[in-house]
Every structure is written in C-alpha cells, then in structure tokens.
Amino acid sequence: MRCDRARELIGAYVDEELSGDDCTAVAAHIASCAACRELLADTKRTSSAIAELGRERSPKGLASRIRSQLALVAHTQDGREKRWRLWQGPSGAIRQTAMVAACCLLAVLSTWWVSSSMLGADQLQQEILAAHMRSLLQDSPVQVASSDRHTVKPWFAGRVDIAPDVKDLTAEGFPLVGGRLDYVHQRRVGALVYRRRLHIVNVFMWPAPSTEEAAPKATTKNGYNLLTWNKSGVTYWAISDLDAGELARLQRLLSG
C-alpha cells in the first residue's frame, strides 16, 4: 500500500471502521513507514483531544422553544376540549396524549436539526480539505507571494468582504508565504498561507455570521488536522498535515 492511500484510510483505521483486508494492509504499511506512524500518532492525539472536549451545549433558547411549543399544544388542546366535550374522553387522558404527540414531534424535529447540522459541518470540512488539496497541486499555493504583511494585506482589499489581520510569524517558526483567493462554502474567501518546515498551512477566512467569538475547535479529515474559530467578526479555518499541537500554536499566535 502506498502512503497516499494509507493517509486516506488512517482516520477510519483509528475509528476501527475498516474491513479486514484494508485494516491488515494499513497496519502492515504503518509498521514499515515512519511518516505514516507519526501521522497515526497525531491522529490518535487529536481524537483524544476532541473526545476530552465533551458534548456541545444545545443551542441557546432551545429549552424555552420546547416549553413554548408544549404550552401551545396544551392550550390548543384545552380549546378543543371545550368545543368537543360531548364526544371527547377524559381531559387528563387527552392532555397526556397531546403531550406525548408533541414530544414525539419535537424529538423528530430535534433529530432532524442535529442531523442537518452534522451533515453541514461535514460538508464544510470536506470543502476546506478540497481547497487545501487544490492549493498543493498548483505550482504555487499563493497568488501574492510575500512575507511582508504590508504587501499581502492590501492585496485582499476589494477582493474579499473582510480586512484580514495578516501577521508574519517568521520569528516564531511560521513564515508567511503569501495569500490567495479561494472558493469555499459557496462564497469567495481569503486564504493566508504559512509554512512550518516542509508543511504548508492554509488559513481560510470569511465574515462570521455574528460578532460573538468562538473558541478553537479541532477535528481531523482524511489524515489532515483542521482548526476553526471566530474572532472579531471573522471565521477562520486552518488546515495542514502539521501536528495538531503545532497547528493550535499557530492559532494562538494568529489570535494573540
């Protein structure tokens, strides 16, 4: 098995989702390839870090919306009882039936909402990964090549809907390569490109839906580490095959 194929399967290998033949082939390749063993270790560390984050809180206001819907159903049912009292059964049983029906409906709606959110998040991650891979297939991953923030920052003016905070982090070990435009999530976005030794890091940026800041959230996709956060009205997505810890360090430097 070649390294590129093994990298595609390492995520599923860690999650124990591979068939017997694929699992055996990946295990044999990892045993003979130091680079893929390092990627496997990085993926396991990232998975553990994500697991330690715990479950996300439910959206703000979800509990109050559920209570409001239950109250509305109960109120509607009370009105029907008054109009149809001649042929209805005991009111307590009717209320209970209505409450059960409402709970079932809300459970279905909640499941649909969670499933839609997960599908949307996975699709966005796939788009980020595809954009990153496209940049690696080009002769150069940038359209404006410079480590000077005073050259890169003005280049984005009029090309994207934000004024990106461009930093040259050469002294910290993350030299700025330059910037470019890309297309992610059905919109034109800006991308800053950094280098860490032989690793390329793409940092995608577009306007956030709100000014509320969001703490960094890490994930992996096909062996690549992704990190997203919101700051000062901008959504950021950083992606690289770089170690998850070093990617998190870059995020802290960019946000500092």
Residues 245 and 147 in one domain: yes
Shared domain check, 238 and 143: yes
Answer whether residue 126 is part of any domain. no
Q: Is residue 124 part of a domain?
A: no
Any bridge partners for residue 240, and if so which? Answer: 225
Task: From first to last of the 256 residues of the chain, give the pLDDT tens digit.
Answer: 787 788 778 888 887 878 888 888 888 988 888 888 888 887 787 666 555 544 455 566 666 777 777 777 666 666 665 554 544 455 555 555 555 565 555 555 554 444 444 445 788 999 999 999 999 998 999 999 999 999 999 999 999 999 899 999 999 999 999 999 999 988 899 999 999 999 999 999 999 988 889 999 999 999 999 999 999 999 999 999 999 999 999 999 999 8
181 in the same domain as 84: no
Into how many domains does the chain fold? 3
Q: Tell how strand 224-231 and strand 234-240 pair up.
A: antiparallel
- Strand runs (DSSP E) across the chain, as ranges? 144-145, 176-184, 187-196, 199-207, 214-221, 224-231, 234-240
Residues 142 and 248 in one domain: yes
* Residues spanned by the domain of 35: 3-48
Q: Among residues 188, 179, 131, 124, which one has the least CA distance to residue 161?
A: 188
Q: Does residue 144 form part of some domain?
A: yes
Q: Is the residue at 131 inside a domain?
A: no
The verdict on residue 187 lying in a domain is yes
Residues 110 and 205 occupy one common structural domain: no
Give yes or no: residues 246 and 211 share one domain: yes
- Residue 203 shares a structural domain with residue 148: yes
pTM: 0.56
- Among candidate residues 202, 219, 228, the one with its CA nearest the CA of residue 132: 202
In this structure, what CATH number is given to the domain that contains residue 243?
3.30.200.100
Distance between CA atoms of residues 21 and 121, nearest Å: 30
Question: Are 97 and 162 contained in the same domain?
Answer: no
On whether residue 160 sits in a domain, the answer given is: yes
Q: Say if residues 253 and 167 touch (Cβ distance below 8 Å).
A: yes
Same-domain check for residues 32 and 73: no
- Residue closest to 81 by CA, chosen among 91, 66, 67, 68: 91
Q: Are residues 165 and 217 in the same domain?
A: yes
Does residue 178 share a domain with residue 250?
yes
* Same domain as 249, residue 148: yes
